[in-house]
Amino acid sequence: MTVKYKINELFQTIQGEGAFTGQPSIFIRLQGCPVGCSWCDTKHTWEIDPSLVISSTDLLNKKQESEHWSQLSADDMVKLFKLQNYSARHIVITGGEPCMVDLTPLCDTFESLGYSCQIETSGTFEIKTSKNCWVTVSPKVNMKGGYAILNSAMQRANEIKHPVATEQHVDDLKALLSEHNITDKPIYLQPISQKQRATELAIQTCIENNWRLSIQVHKYIGIE
């Protein structure tokens, strides 16, 4: 049976975060997230309202963020890439929380066509994806939804990208790395909301710990 995914957005841009910063990428944003981060900048993806289903044409024509979503298979999405003449060969699957569903069929289809895949997840759901998919875990600790960070997600991560605004966030990350015995993965600190204090804290903490800085380049250069 063909698997259909709930898609909030599909667009081509430059990846602005983590190890793939600067990489032309097709972003696929899935609808649905129960994690409940207070500073979330994609709250319009949280609810899955069946009355807000739209066509793939309306999805591509979205001019602003909305809670509308479209139901698409991997093949449907490949057709849209062609229709839009997308040139990027890297696909970023994000959300919402994309790991609420099994992403393996989606990544298998894309990879069979020569695309590379990356998923961005909060680490609170079991990660089901292809073996070669690059997994970015951005662990969301102690959020309102009450979900714990899964050890399996931390172990599967190819990179860990942690949002940071306060010392508490740094302490949370250190505790998490220690709890899951993570010693050999690239760690990125990402200042929340481009605030100066958060950025300074991230720079200082990266230098102290030999971690890397991720500054959401797309927001500084004014692209999606």
Binding test (CB under 6 A) with ligand SF4, winner from 33, 91, 107, 177: 33
Binding mask of the shown chain, residues 105 to 124, with x at each position contacting ligand SF4 by CB under 6 A: -----------------x--
Number of amino acids touching ligand SF4 (CB under 6 A) = 12
Contact range with ligand SF4 by CB under 6 A, out of 20-28, 90-98, 180-188, 189-197 = 90-98
Residue of 8, 26, 44, 95 that binds ligand SF4 (CB under 6 A): 95
Q: Decide whether 96 or 191 has the Cβ nearer to ligand SF4.
A: 96
Is 16 annotated in some ligand binding site? yes
Q: Convert the chain into a string of H (helix), E (strand) and C (coil).
A: CCCEEEEEEEEEEECCCHHHCCCEEEEEEECCCCCCCCCCCCHHHCCCCHHHECCHHHHHCCCCCCCCEEEEEHHHHHHHHHHCCCCCCEEEEECCCHHHCCCHHHHHHHHHCCCEEEEEECCCCCCCCCCCCEEEECCCCCCCCCCCCCHHHHHHCCEEEEEECCHHHHHHHHHHHHHCCCCCCCEEEEEHHHCHHHHHHHHHHHHHHCCEECCCHHHHCCCC
Tell me how far, at minimum, the Cβ of 174 lies from ligand SF4, in Å: 20
Binding site for ligand SF4 (CB under 6 A): 33, 35-37, 40, 42, 45, 95-97, 122, 140
Annotated binding site for [4Fe-4S] cluster: 33, 37, 40
